[in-house]
Amino acid sequence: MYRKHLQEIPSSSTNVSTSLEWDPGKTSELLSGMGVSALKKDRLGNENTPQDLLVSSPCLPPKRQKVKDNEKDFVIVRRPWLLREAESGISLDALPDELLLAIFAYLPLKDLLKVSMICKRWHRLSFDESLWQTLDLTGGNLLPGVLGQLLPAGVTVFRCPRSCIGDPLFKTSNLLKIQHLDLSNCTVSAADLHSILCLCEKLQNLSLEGLVLSDSIIKSIARNPNLIRLNLCGCSGFSAEALELMLSSCSMLEELNLSWCEFTATHVKAAVNHVTSKITQLNLSGYRENLQIADVKTLVERCPLLVHLDLSDSMMLKPECFQYFKQLVFLQHLCLSRCYQISPAALVELGEIRTLKTLQVFGIVTDSSLQLLEEALPDMKINGSHFTSIARPTVGNKKSHEIWGIKCRLTLRNPSFL
């Protein structure tokens, strides 16, 4: 991670919004909202550096200097060692900002929040945006105000699936710097979700899987022209008109997962007619009677660069749609599971697509017919995976702190205790 030269680090942070100004009471509330116990106040009252972090020996009681009998009225009392200049060693207070930042970079999330309580200088440094690039609060119970303090600290990668999110209570209207955001399967109101997304215009990857959305949320997503991957699997609550606006605005999309949303036939037509032609991976599974063969024709003509296409659980698809799949010269992965009007024998025709490497047809073929199909299509891997990875932030090991291949440094290790 790139570090600023010492002379470039200002005396008061310019990287942190005014909502992060030092206030012991407010910081204690933040720590409580994160499930982190605050440090006890320094007994000796040193405003800057905690005495227990100084390089020192244990504090001894004041010693009295021996005096002569005729000087009984004059006594010299030595100051405690901790309040005197250290004769040996270095106080952490003497370290420049650059070195303290390097030390703080090794602290886990809860310890970083604790040291922010020490003093004004440490609070400013502990919220330097160089320390808050990646944040993982998976499974946390985030009380109101927590995200309103943490996200403006310069977070660019935020992983927070399966969490309970309270009102962020942002104290600034400045745009956030988030580029990669995963809020899949969270418990969060549409209003609170909108308060986050309306401040995001730099998103490249976004996953809102399983959430109830709104037209205002979809319109906020539309203000991210550099969006590359979008996962709205299982979402609901927005109109076909809002969907059309979003797809027309997000012209850089390469991966899109719109599977199993609460879509009508109008939603499906809005999707196939307005998805960008640059799309390479698309999941439109789960639309049963609402996805027609004519929609497949429109989709193929509009998106010639498709490499991975999932149209599973589409009851209206028949073998006649294969002619359109053959037009996709880059197609490598095709999913047609539970498209029951397609017979196992008809699938052999897909062998004419020379680029096709994998074929998922669960529910169509039995174990016996699968063996025959594998013999007919020896160069194709059939029914190798039940799940699609299109636009999903985390695939495989859910214990990984990565989203879209980016590892998060600051993590909650015991979210169940929040």
CA-CA distance, 390 to 310, in Å (whole number)? Answer: 9
User: What's the confidence (pLDDT) of residue 78?
Assistant: 56
pLDDT of residue 136 exceeding 60, the answer is yes
280 Cβ contact partners less than 8 Å away, ≥ 6 residues apart? 254, 255, 305, 306, 307, 308, 330
pLDDT single digits (tens) 278-300 = 999 999 999 999 999 999 999 99
CA-CA distance, 208 to 194, in Å (whole number)? Answer: 12
Determine contact, residues 215/239, Cβ cutoff 8 Å. Answer: yes
Residue 17: pLDDT band by 50, 70, 90 thresholds?
very low
User: What's the confidence (pLDDT) of residue 166?
Assistant: 95
pLDDT single digits (tens) 321-377 = 999 999 999 999 999 999 999 999 999 999 999 999 999 999 999 988 999 999 999
Buried b (16+ CB within 10 A) or exposed e, 92-117: beeeebeebbeebeeeebbebbbbbb
User: What's the confidence (pLDDT) of residue 387?
Assistant: 86
pLDDT of residue 275 exceeding 50, the answer is yes
pLDDT of residue 28 exceeding 50, the answer is yes
Tell me the percentage of the chain whose pLDDT exceeds 70.
76
User: What's the confidence (pLDDT) of residue 403?
Assistant: 92
Which of 58-67, 69-78, 239-248 is modeled with the greatest confidence? 239-248
User: What's the confidence (pLDDT) of residue 90?
Assistant: 73
Task: Considering only residues 75 and 160, tell me which one the structure prediction assigns the higher pLDDT.
Answer: 160
Tell me the percentage of the chain whose pLDDT exceeds 90.
69
pLDDT of residue 317 exceeding 60, the answer is yes
pLDDT single digits (tens) 212-237 = 999 999 999 999 999 999 999 999 99
Strand partners, 159: 136, 182
CA-atom Rg of the chain in angstroms: 29
Q: Of 196-210, 256-270, 329-343, 365-379, which gets the smallest average pLDDT?
A: 365-379
Closest CA relative to residue 388, chosen from 337, 338, 351: 337
Residue 70: pLDDT band by 50, 70, 90 thresholds?
low
Residue 393: pLDDT band by 50, 70, 90 thresholds?
very high
User: What's the confidence (pLDDT) of residue 8?
Assistant: 38
Average pLDDT over residues 34-62: 46
pLDDT of residue 272 exceeding 50, the answer is yes
Task: Considering only residues 207 and 43, tell me which one the structure prediction assigns the higher pLDDT.
Answer: 207
pLDDT of residue 410 exceeding 50, the answer is yes
Residue 414: pLDDT band by 50, 70, 90 thresholds?
low
Amino acid at the residue 267: H
User: What's the confidence (pLDDT) of residue 412?
Assistant: 79
> Taking the CB of residue 264, how many other CB atoms lie within 10 A of it?
12
Buried b (16+ CB within 10 A) or exposed e, 218-234: bbbbbbbeebbbbbbbb
Determine contact, residues 135/152, Cβ cutoff 8 Å. Answer: no
Residue 395: pLDDT band by 50, 70, 90 thresholds?
confident
- Residue whose tokens read 């999330």: 109
Please provide the average confidence, as pLDDT, over all residues in the chain. Answer: 84
pLDDT of residue 84 exceeding 60, the answer is no
Determine contact, residues 311/285, Cβ cutoff 8 Å. Answer: yes
User: What's the confidence (pLDDT) of residue 376?
Assistant: 94
Q: Where are the beta strands (DSSP E) in 236-392?
A: 255-257, 281-283, 308-310, 333-335, 358-360, 381-382
Q: Tell me the two tokens of residue 170.
A: 């942002």
pLDDT of residue 150 exceeding 90, the answer is yes
pLDDT of residue 208 exceeding 90, the answer is yes
